[in-house]
């Protein structure tokens, strides 16, 4: 069985060292970062199974890191660690895609229990997506390019890439417009019109050669949202 890796982004040296020691003693491999700038770089470039993320960091806020991480890696498991007592901070973190939270001061036993629970829940998550092969062609998300079998090519906007990546990462599951607003747009879906999502889906269908009347790749699920189908996603 491969050793799981946990990335710890925490500026308080005592807390960071304590967390690293705890997860290492439990059998995990630990990576660490002491500020938001280095933390963001490692969160986006390193290979790890779970991120333990402090919210209050020098150079870059933890919520900003979480938002950027969700766009690049929609399925990456994240637990936020914070000393903030306000419910709004925890809610905001969960809306941005955190899987769980733990409030400082916390016990090692509680932290490890939450780590194990999140890793267990995330074991069957889809992989992060970089390429998509479908009946009409291929999408290279890194190059932001669609190549259709007929020879035509289309460039995708950054938002279209983020939306397509998230839908493909959740292949076969109906994703609500509210979830898309939260996970892809990174905004609170409460009271926000979702028409912009419909417009982005329409443009994606056009570029992917997907029939707008009877789509086969990005399906409309009545009363729920959208579902990716007819394609194979790869890392």
138 forms beta bridges with: 133, 147
Distance CA 192, CA 67 (A): 18
Instruction: For residues 115 and 10, state if they share a domain.
Output: yes
Instruction: For residues 112 and 208, state if they share a domain.
Output: no
Tally of domains within the chain: 2
Q: How large is the average pLDDT for residues 163-189?
A: 82
Give residue 88's pLDDT. 77
Q: Which of 93, 124, 155 is the last residue of a domain?
A: 124
Q: In what helix (H) or strand (E) does residue 178 lie, and over which residues does it extend? A: helix 177-180
Give residue 25's pLDDT. 96
Give residue 176's pLDDT. 86
Q: Model confidence over 79-96: pLDDT tens digits?
A: 999 876 667 777 888 888
DSSP-derived 3-state class of residue 213: coil
Q: How large is the average pLDDT for residues 29-36?
A: 96
Give residue 125's pLDDT. 54
Query: Given a cut of 70, is residue 128 above it in pLDDT?
Result: no
Query: Given a cut of 70, is residue 217 above it in pLDDT?
Result: yes
Q: Which of 90, 124, 158 is the last residue of a domain?
A: 124
Residue 235: pLDDT band (50, 70, 90) is very low
Q: Model confidence over 141-159: pLDDT tens digits?
A: 888 999 999 899 999 998 8
> Which two structure tokens, joined as six digits, stand for 196?
């912009």
Label residues 113-136 b or e (16+ Cβ within 10 Å = b).
Answer: ebbeebbeeeeeeeebbeebebeb
Query: Given a cut of 70, is residue 197 above it in pLDDT?
Result: yes
Q: What is the CATH number of the domain that holds 184?
A: 1.10.10.10
Give residue 119's pLDDT. 87
Instruction: For residues 188 and 118, state if they share a domain.
Output: no
Residue 1: pLDDT band (50, 70, 90) is very low
Instruction: For residues 146 and 216, state if they share a domain.
Output: yes
Instruction: For residues 92 and 162, state if they share a domain.
Output: no
Q: Model confidence over 99-114: pLDDT tens digits?
A: 899 988 899 999 999 9
Instruction: For residues 138 and 107, state if they share a domain.
Output: no
Query: Given a cut of 90, is residue 6 above it in pLDDT?
Result: yes
Q: What is the CATH number of the domain that holds 44?
A: 3.40.50.2300
Query: Given a cut of 70, is residue 123 above it in pLDDT?
Result: no
Instruction: For residues 169 and 208, state if they share a domain.
Output: yes
Instruction: For residues 112 and 15, state if they share a domain.
Output: yes
Query: Given a cut of 60, is residue 57 above it in pLDDT?
Result: yes
Query: Given a cut of 80, is residue 219 above it in pLDDT?
Result: yes
Q: Which of 103, 124, 145 is the last residue of a domain?
A: 124
Range of the domain at 213: 131-234
> Which two structure tokens, joined as six digits, stand for 98?
């955190």
Give residue 74's pLDDT. 75
Instruction: For residues 173 and 87, state if they share a domain.
Output: no
Distance CA 120, CA 117 (A): 5
Instruction: For residues 105 and 149, state if they share a domain.
Output: no
Give residue 20's pLDDT. 97
Instruction: For residues 26 and 68, state if they share a domain.
Output: yes
Instruction: For residues 27 and 101, state if they share a domain.
Output: yes
Query: Given a cut of 50, is residue 44 above it in pLDDT?
Result: yes
What predicted TM-score, i.e. pTM, was given to this entire model? 0.58
How many CB atoms lie under 10 A from the CB of residue 84? 15
Distance CA 175, CA 52 (A): 26
């Amino acid at each position: 069985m491969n050793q799981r890796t946990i990335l710890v982004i925490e500026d308080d040296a005592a807390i960071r060292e304590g967390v690293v020691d705890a997860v290492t003693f439990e059998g995990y491999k630990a990576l660490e970062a002491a500020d938001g700038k280095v933390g963001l770089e490692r969160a986006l470039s390193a290979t790890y199974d779970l991120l333990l993320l402090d919210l209050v960091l020098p150079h870059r806020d933890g919520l900003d890191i979480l938002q950027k991480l969700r766009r690049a890696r929609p399925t990456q498991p994240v637990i936020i660690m914070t000393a903030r007592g306000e419910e709004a901070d925890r809610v905001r973190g969960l809306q941005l895609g955190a899987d769980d939270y733990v409030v400082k001061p916390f016990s090692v036993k509680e932290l490890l229990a939450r780590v194990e629970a999140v890793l267990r829940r995330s074991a069957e998550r889809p992989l992060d997506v970089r390429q998509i092969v479908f009946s009409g062609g291929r999408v290279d998300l890194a190059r932001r390019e669609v190549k259709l079998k007929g020879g035509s090519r289309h460039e995708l906007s950054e938002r279209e890439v983020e939306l397509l990546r998230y839908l493909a990462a959740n292949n076969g599951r109906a994703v609500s417009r509210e979830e898309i607003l939260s996970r892809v747009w990174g905004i609170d879906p409460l009271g926000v019109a979702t028409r912009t999502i419909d417009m982005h889906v329409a443009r994606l269908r056009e570029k992917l050669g997907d029939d707008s009347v009877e789509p086969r790749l990005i399906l409309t699920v009545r009363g729920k949202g959208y579902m990716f189908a007819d394609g194979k996603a790869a890392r």
